[in-house]
């Protein structure tokens, strides 16, 4: 049975930790975690979620481009589950997009990232996959992979923008925020 989990907000310790490798031998745990993450992501109407965002410090992430397919039509069938993803390559070419995050509700900011990446990961069937990504798919995956290393997109924004959002970040960390999904400090 699926379960919608609370999403941990900016300031939570689990979001600052380097996540541990997921145990590939514990198929039942991984299957349950992935299903709960999918239900949680769908309920929150987001396009990506990393396990630390639901309080589990493991290297698991999911991305779902279908929720942004009205803007990026090439993502209409794009969904990935990545277990123990490893960044193999990133392009020197950079691109900038506006980003938001379920753990930082109500804040959006422009972030520069590599335009293309190559990632090795295990899929839901625990098959090893190596895949290249570009455009917004690349963006979603990089954003979620940063969660696995204890980083949030707001750490990458320009200093002036960071200064402008400091008060909002402090309010989120103190629980002074409303979101349309279940949250946890």
Catalytically active residues, by annotation: 144
**Cα–Cα distance for residue pair 161/26, rounded to 1 Å:** 42
Pinpoint the alpha helices (H) of 45-151: 135-148
Q: Which residues pair with residue 131 across a beta bridge?
A: 119
Q: Determine which helix (DSSP H) or strand (DSSP E) holds 94, and give its type and residue range.
A: strand 94-101
**Separation in Å, CA 78 to CA 107, 173, 175:** 25, 32, 33
* C-alpha to C-alpha distance for 121 and 171, rounded to whole angstroms: 36
143 is in an annotated binding site: yes
Residues at the annotated binding site for Fe cation?
A: 101, 143, 147
């Amino acid at each position: 049975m699926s379960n919608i989990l609370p999403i941990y907000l900016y300031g939570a310790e689990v979001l600052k930790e380097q996540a541990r490798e997921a145990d590939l031998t514990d198929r039942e745990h991984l299957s349950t975690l992935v299903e709960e993450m999918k239900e949680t992501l769908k309920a929150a109407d987001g396009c990506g979620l990393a396990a630390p965002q639901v309080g589990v410090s493991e290297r698991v992430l999911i991305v779902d481009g279908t929720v942004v397919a009205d803007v990026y039509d090439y993502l209409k069938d794009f969904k990935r589950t990545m277990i123990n993803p490893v960044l193999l390559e990133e392009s020197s070419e950079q691109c900038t997009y506006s980003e938001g995050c379920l753990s930082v509700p109500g804040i959006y900011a422009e972030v520069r990232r590599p335009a293309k990446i190559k990632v090795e990961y295990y899929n839901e069937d625990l098959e090893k996959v190596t895949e290249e990504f570009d455009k917004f798919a690349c963006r979603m995956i990089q954003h979620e992979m940063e969660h696995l290393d204890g980083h949030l997109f707001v750490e990458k924004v320009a200093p002036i923008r960071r200064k402008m959002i400091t008060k909002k970040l402090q309010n989120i960390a103190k629980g002074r925020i409303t979101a349309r999904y279940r949250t946890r400090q």
